[in-house]
Amino acid sequence: MRRGSLVGACLLSVMATAGCAFSSPGESSSASPQAFTANATAAPGSGNAMAGDADLVDATCERSPSGSWSFKAVLRNSTKHTSHYSLSVTVANKESGAVYGSVAQSFAVKPGKERRVSFSTVANSGVSEQSAVVCEHFTTVVRDT
């Protein structure tokens, strides 16, 4: 039941932010990127799920010269319970509202442990209008009790 709430909260946040455009996650990019970072806030009414952004550290969203976006971060569980995270990352144009792409994935992290996460291609926004393009991430967490 907890995972269902977590998945539902993630899907709601991704739909609200990204219009449900999903792609498959991969490994980190080796291109010379331009770095961008962003934060998100909790989704109201998410049941047992709560904002997990405090557990997401060293988050970077990077754009290569060709306009391909990648994301890297570390999920750090400093609690005494296994934590189930849902992470979504969206790349969009803040002026036009166009969503270039989004990825979402769930991760379980044992108590006191951390897990590196990366998506090699979140989206490709091309090379034009880069000043209006933003990369946002949102993390929800459900902790075992």
Tens digits of residue pLDDT in 105-121: 999 999 999 999 999 98
d(CA 103, CA 114): 20
What pLDDT, in 10s, does the model give residues 24-73?
A: 333 333 333 333 344 444 344 445 788 998 999 999 999 998 889 999 99
* CB 113 within 8 Å of CB 104: no
Range of the domain at 33: 2-143
pTM: 0.66
Looking at the structure of the chain, the number of domains it has is 1
Mean pLDDT score, 1-10? 41
Phi-psi region of 91 (alpha: psi -120 to 50; beta: other; left: phi over 0): beta
Report the CATH number at residue 99: 2.60.40
